[in-house]
Amino acid sequence: LFLQTNSKAFTAKTSCVRRRYREFVWLRRQLQKNAGLVPVPELPGKSTFFVGSTDEFVEKRRQGLQQFLEKVVQNVVLLSDSRLHLFLQSQLSVPEIEACVQGQGSQTVTEAILHYAMSNCGWAQ
């Protein structure tokens, strides 16, 4: 997914990461746990029945996930979650994100984000 944001909360204005639908499900669950009464946007449905081509289904889901992320990054409470920042600005797996947030990873949250920014997408100069 490609996300462009004007939020000053992110190291980079553009983020390009590969994530599976189940990782979005995990992220939404984590955001819900930590957001208290703040509503977390819904994910697009995981329909097993779809009329049309596979490419069309994938594109519709991608658009739905993009909209989910755009709504999430507009919420100040959700933006305070380190998991969101690692999800969008690193290629860490879900277990690696959890370890990093809990201080058990080989890098801090900031180090993981800066490492990705400098080495992978080339969007931090």
- Smallest CA-to-CA distance from 105 within 82, 72, 124 is with 82
**Model pLDDT, residue 16:** 73
Domain span at residue 48 reads: 2-119
Question: CA distances (Å), 81 to each of 31, 52, 106, in order?
Answer: 7, 37, 19
CA–CA gap between residue 55 and residue 8 (Å, rounded): 34
53 pLDDT band, cuts 50/70/90, is confident
Q: Does residue 25 sit within a domain?
A: yes
125 in a structural domain: no
- pLDDT tens digits for 93-119? 999 999 999 999 888 888 888 877 777
Indicate the pLDDT class of residue 7, thresholds 50, 70 and 90. Answer: low
| CATH code (residue 94) | 3.30.1520.10
User: Total structural domains in the chain?
Assistant: 1
Average pLDDT over the chain, rounded to whole?
Answer: 81
Task: Choose among 66, 67, 73: nearest CA to 16.
Answer: 66
- Residue that is written with structure tokens 């930590």 in the block: 34
